[in-house]
């Protein structure tokens, strides 16, 4: 299902028919971050990404800096520059170094910062080092996107909420697959819905599935999580993404499959329009 939309994207007359809120682009040969857990041995090009969007009837996308590229956001920024109306970007930063870059990045289509904290020591977002960075992000209506184990989300949420910044939580909250929705961390995530300051990406259900290589298992877990998220957050705080190119699961996932899963789980037209168009268009500053 696709939609028409009366509001155009910034710097373009292209109507919004759907927004992919989470994808990565990269090519071999880019500088890799030290300490990376993984790096792909193939290219996920911007041209291929845009073709994928078109194949799904989606008009716009949000590119997230891959963790294995670290804080060198040069390739992502070049992609935003190539299609400024169609794309928005989420960068990875060093708060001690990059404060002076925020406004220039914003002008180039960056709307947020990602912290991939899976398996990593947690930063102290209440530290004075982060204060001016988060303050400027808040002023620009940026968000801090976190990928973190659900059980550890309560360790960072209070400081982020106190800062005033918007919070976006990746991939259904990354609850422990073996526990599923019984993970106490998932309950903690649900409790944040009342703050109205937290958004959740209903993306990459296979990353929280007890059998990540079985597409049916991913669909089942998404179908179970969706009603709880909808109840606590509402459709104006939920967005969807392809997670293209499905790093580490490329052989069992594809964009058409995850889009079909979305249509199966979010089967009310008004709700589908919200998570594909209205909510991401506002959150990622396409309108």
The whole-angstrom separation of Cα 198 and Cα 201 is 10
Residue 37: band (very low, low, confident or very high) from pLDDT cuts 50, 70, 90: confident
5: pLDDT strictly greater than 70: no
92 in Cβ contact with 112 (< 8 Å): no
- The per-residue pLDDT for range 141-158, each reduced to its tens digit, is 999 999 999 999 999 999
Residue 4: band (very low, low, confident or very high) from pLDDT cuts 50, 70, 90: very low
pLDDT (average), residues 204-231: 97
- The per-residue pLDDT for range 184-209, each reduced to its tens digit, is 999 999 999 999 999 999 999 999 99
* Coil/strand/helix, residue 282: helix
Residues of the chain with pLDDT > 70, as a percent, come to 95
The whole-angstrom separation of Cα 217 and Cα 211 is 6
The residue whose two tokens read 């009837």 is: 57
What secondary structure letter does DSSP report for 98? Answer: -
**Domains parsed from the chain with CATH numbers:** 19-283 (3.20.20.140)
Residue 33: band (very low, low, confident or very high) from pLDDT cuts 50, 70, 90: very high
Give the Å distances, CA to CA, from 282 to 5, 32, 205: 13, 32, 24
Cis peptide bond upstream of 34, omega within 30:
no
Residue 282 has a CB neighbour count (10 Å cut-off) of 15
The whole-angstrom separation of Cα 85 and Cα 268 is 28
- pTM score of the predicted model: 0.94
């Amino acid at each position: 299902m696709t939609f028409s939309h009366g509001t155009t994207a910034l710097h373009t007359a292209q109507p919004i028919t759907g927004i992919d809120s989470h994808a990565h682009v990269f090519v071999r040969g880019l500088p890799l971050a030290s300490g990376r857990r993984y790096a792909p041995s193939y290219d996920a090009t911007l041209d291929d990404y845009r073709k994928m969007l078109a194949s799904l009837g989606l008009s716009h996308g949000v590119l997230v800096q891959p963790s294995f590229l670290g804080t060198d956001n040069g390739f992502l920024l070049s992609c935003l520059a190539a299609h400024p109306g169609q794309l928005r970007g989420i960068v990875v930063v060093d708060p001690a170094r990059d404060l002076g870059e925020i406004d220039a990045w914003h002008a180039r289509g960056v709307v947020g910062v990602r912290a991939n904290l899976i398996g990593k020591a947690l930063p102290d977002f209440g530290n004075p080092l982060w204060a001016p960075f988060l303050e400027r992000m808040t002023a620009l209506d940026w968000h801090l996107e976190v990928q973190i184990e659900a059980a550890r989300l309560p360790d960072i949420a209070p400081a982020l909420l106190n800062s005033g910044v918007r919070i976006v939580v990746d991939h259904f909250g990354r609850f422990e697959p073996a526990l599923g929705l019984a993970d106490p961390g998932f309950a903690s995530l649900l409790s944040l819905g009342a703050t109205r300051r937290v958004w959740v990406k209903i993306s990459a259900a296979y990353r929280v599935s007890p059998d990540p290589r079985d597409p049916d298992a991913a669909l089942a877990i998404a179908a179970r999580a969706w009603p709880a998220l909808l109840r606590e957050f509402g459709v104006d705080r939920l967005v969807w993404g392809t997670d293209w190119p499905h790093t580490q699961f490329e052989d069992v996932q594809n964009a058409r499959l995850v889009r079909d899963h979305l249509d199966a789980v979010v089967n009310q037209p008004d709700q589908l329009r919200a998570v594909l168009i209205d909510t991401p268009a506002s959150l990622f500053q396409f309108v």
